[in-house]
Structure 1
Amino acid sequence: MENIRPIKTEADYDWAISEITRYFENEPEVGSADGDRFDVLATLIEAYEDKHYPIEAPDPVEAIRSHMELFKLSRKALADVIGSSPRASEVLSRKRALTMDMVFKLNREWHIPAEVLVRPYHLAKDKERKRA
């Protein structure tokens, strides 16, 4: 493979990005030498980004809010899924934790990954206790 090298520095990363960008306009054929080079560059870039620019998964409330924003869903839409308007407000304001039933319904109806919804997160009262 033509001049492929490990990505150890930002300069190496910038080089790899510029190299792979060439393939975006003229996509290489799978299995060709250029196709293999593209795959290796993509793997190296992904490994470097995972190590140096990790993206933490959102907490459950952030995930729900993002989903609502992305699909232009109202608080009423959330209430329809989890049972009531007060419950939806409490969840979004971090005053009520998600129950397993809510997690199941959000996963089934809105397709938010269950592993995101079951992550631990702080409720508003938890933060207030820490300040006292």
Structure 2
Amino acid sequence: MALNKVRALMKLKPAKESEEGQELEMLITLIEAYEDVHVPMQASDPIAYLEYRMEQDNLKQRDLIPFIGDKTKVSKVMNRKQELSVSMIRRLSEGLNIPINFLIPSGL
């Protein structure tokens, strides 16, 4: 039910400060906590996954600009000098049809 609610909220693209945005962030946190306890997974490396998807889909870093930001920001993220923000994760998930849990680094 929580995952369905997250999907529905993501379609609305709520502002982070809005009630829906805060609900989305809370549900993501709760889902992560549940999965940490009940669904053992190996550590998540969103950048490694993005690199894999870029290779599979024949994408270049410039193709990530709509989801991450300008060329400089994309470069910083891909070189692990800047972490993905919640809004970047949301845009990448929606735009590239990537399961959100593949984009959330372990330890969050």
Is TM more than 0.5 here? yes
1:93 maps onto 2:88 in alignment: no
**Alignment RMSD (CA, Å):** 1.8
Q: 1:73 aligns with which of 36, 59, 66?
A: 59
Q: CA deviation at 1:116?
A: 1.4
Matches within 5 A, 1:37-56: 56=42
Distance 1:78 1:86 in 2: 11
Matches within 5 A, 1:1-132: 56=42, 58-120=44-106
Q: CA deviation at 1:82?
A: 1.3
Distance 1:80 1:97 in 2: 16
Distance 2:68 2:79 in 1: 15
Read off the aligned partner of 2:77 and give its amino acid letter.
V
* Larger RCO, structures 1/2 (Cα 8 Å, 6+ apart): 2
Looking at CA atoms only, which structure, 1 or 2, has the larger radius of gyration? Answer: 1
Unaligned ranges ≥5, structure 1: 1-54, 122-132
What whole-Å deviation, never above 9, does each CA across 1:44-86 have from its counterpart, x for those lacking one?
A: xxxxxxxxxxx84651000111110000001100122211111
Unaligned ranges ≥5, structure 2: 1-40
The ranges of structure 1 where at least 4 consecutive aligned residues each deviate by more than 4 angstroms after the TM superposition are none
Q: May I ask how many residue pairs the two structures share in their alignment? A: 67
Distance 1:119 1:93 in 2: 15
Q: Percent identity?
A: 28
- More displaced stretch, 79-88 vs 94-103: 79-88
Q: Secondary structure at the match of 1:98?
A: coil
